[in-house]
Structure 1
Amino acid sequence: MYIYMNGEVIRKEEARISPFDHGFLYGMGLFETFRVYNGHPFLLDDHLERLNRSLEAINIEGGYTREQVLEKLEMLLGKNGYHNAYIRMNVSAGNGEIGLQTDSYKNPNTIIFCKPLPPRSASAEKQAVMLEIPRNTPEGTERLKSHHYLNNILAKKEAGDDPSIEGIFLTRDGYLAEGITSNLFWIRDDCVFTPSLNTGILNGITRKFVIKLAGKLGLNVQEGMYRPEAVLGADEVFVTNSIQEIVPISSFDGHSMPGLSGKKTLEFQVHYENCCEHLWSRNEL
């Protein structure tokens, strides 16, 4: 497998970073994960908007345009021979001295990883289980998609390796937050519910897409502070992320849910499928 690193496409075995990279020493780094569908990087503009805003928030200089990233992706996907791929675009702060730095980082390291993905499948569903470990609070004013992933790793260790299980975080005050690698939604009548950003969750790109799509479909969307019992009366439940897309939930904390038979969840999936090979941003809906 080949990866992109600072202007070059190299074999993964050849990749090197310095131990003085503050992404390694202090977690000063960000990443975005997204899918390429038949050569098209779905919602790339939305991912870059979040990445560029987050870079500014942690004082890493530089930004990325669609054209710049497309050039990098073309090099990387061409070398690997992929048309459908998982992409992780990683930006770390770059080298510095031992010790915390307050000056801006001027020479970040950019690495893009990819791996092949099979064609889309809408046949998967998951069981949602409540985690004992609480969702930690963001390091700053909002949760960034950063290298600070220990809370998620410990949660995954608790939930186990079964891919059909998604652990659901609660806040320390007992409010629903998000999945280990996903955002949470449920539907009751013509209303879509999802935890508020005030719970400290990541504002996922697919989360924002679903909220926008729900409005286009004439559904009311409510973001708020909810206890787990709020989901038990739901008609349907699903989770979202940019790699697994929109995944129906077949049971929530031991309570049976429609899973794949949920009609509105299926409607969301169909619209997602119709968009994934051409949309650059949710704003094009």
Structure 2
Amino acid sequence: MSTLSFEDRGFTLGDGVFDTALALGGVMIARERHVARLLAAAQTIGIAIEHARIDAAIDAALPATPAILRTTLTRGTAARGLWPLSAGEPTVLVTAAPWSPALLGQPARVVTATGRRNEFSPTANLKTLGYLDHILAAREAAGAGVDDALILNTQGRVACTTIANVFALMDDRLVTPPLSEGCLPGVMRALVMQIAPSLGLEVAEVPLTREALAGAQAAFATNSLRFLRPIVALDGVALGSAAVLDALEQALFVHVEAECGIDPRRT
């Protein structure tokens, strides 16, 4: 059994990054994208880790059954102090939890969080272990009896939800905030942007206000476990829907099935 030191900086300081992915039939979906993002985040914060070590940890944890894979990478143990003069080996931990296709397509009612995401932070585009801002936003959503919270940046524009990137269908094109607005480079976000043009949908990365999102033809959130999640209400006001989003979701399912040989809706 693996153990985690109580001196590990991931535990004491949140000094690390993580990734969450879907595995079907023993295949981690969009594996190279997920691992590349994790390694890039590690490099950004100064953690040196070999690609082969991440791959070995994932291989050891991959189950044959549908699973949520979380890969956590920390700086490991080190002497006290915020920036250690030296550190030991990084800690790599991959865990698997059951996943169900019931997560797919669930509509989301959303409230606007009171907190703001700092798009100027050096960690704004990284999945770091310091997730408290999003945890508190999720508490707001739970307190309001809805499914998620929309997080705005310091300029009052859309950044993301607590667990997802955001898209809006506006004038028959897909609009999503650029990374400079403080959102994460989501793997499912990238897949949507890759696939959408094949369906005749132009994709644009442009700043998005809350008001524009509320007035869009349709809106949805994306992440690697839920794929495309329609946003049906924002702050108690119903949002529109569009049939083209069904076609986009279907195209995502086809893409995943081509990679792992399994339709995620039929696991």
Quickly name the TM-score band, shorter chain normalised. Answer: 0.7 to 0.9
Structure 2 residue 61 is matched with structure 1 residue 76 = yes
The 1:162/1:233 distance shift into structure 2, 3 A limit, reads closer
Report the alpha carbon displacement of residue 232 of structure 1 after superposing the two structures with TM. Answer: 2.9
Alignment of 1:14-93 (within 5 A): 15-65=2-52, 69=55, 71-78=56-63, 82-93=64-75
Matched-pair contact (CA < 8 Å) for 1:40–1:278:
no
Matched-pair contact (CA < 8 Å) for 1:175–1:226:
yes
Distance 1:27 1:138 in 2: 19
Instruction: Report the AA paired with residue 13 of structure 2.
Output: Y
Structure 2 residue 259 is matched with structure 1 residue 272 = no
Alignment of 1:130-149 (within 5 A): 130-137=112-119, 139-140=121-122, 142-149=124-131
Report the alpha carbon displacement of residue 218 of structure 1 after superposing the two structures with TM. Answer: 2.7
Distance 1:137 1:93 in 2: 24
Q: Helix, strand or coil for the counterpart of 2:81?
A: coil
In structure 1, the partner of 2:179 is: 197
Q: CA-to-partner distance for each residue in 1:96-123, whole Å, 9 max, x for gaps?
A: 0011225564511111111111246644
In structure 1, the partner of 2:164 is: 182
Where in structure 2 are there 5+ consecutive unaligned residues? Answer: 261-267
Q: Helix, strand or coil for the counterpart of 2:96?
A: strand
1:158 to 140, 143, 161: 140
For these two proteins, the number of residue pairs brought into alignment is: 260
Find runs of 4+ consecutive structure 1 residues off by over 6 angstroms: none
Report the alpha carbon displacement of residue 176 of structure 1 after superposing the two structures with TM. Answer: 1.2
Over the aligned positions, Cα root-mean-square deviation in angstroms equals 2.4
Instruction: Report the AA paired with residue 207 of structure 2.
Output: M
Distance 2:26 2:257 in 1: 8
- Percent sequence identity over matched residues? 27
Instruction: Report the AA paired with residue 152 of structure 1.
Output: H
Distance 1:103 1:56 in 2: 17
Matched-pair contact (CA < 8 Å) for 1:192–1:222:
yes
Matched-pair contact (CA < 8 Å) for 2:78–2:88:
no
Structure 2 residue 213 is matched with structure 1 residue 226 = no
Where in structure 1 are there 5+ consecutive unaligned residues? Answer: 1-9, 281-285
Structure 2 residue 243 is matched with structure 1 residue 263 = yes
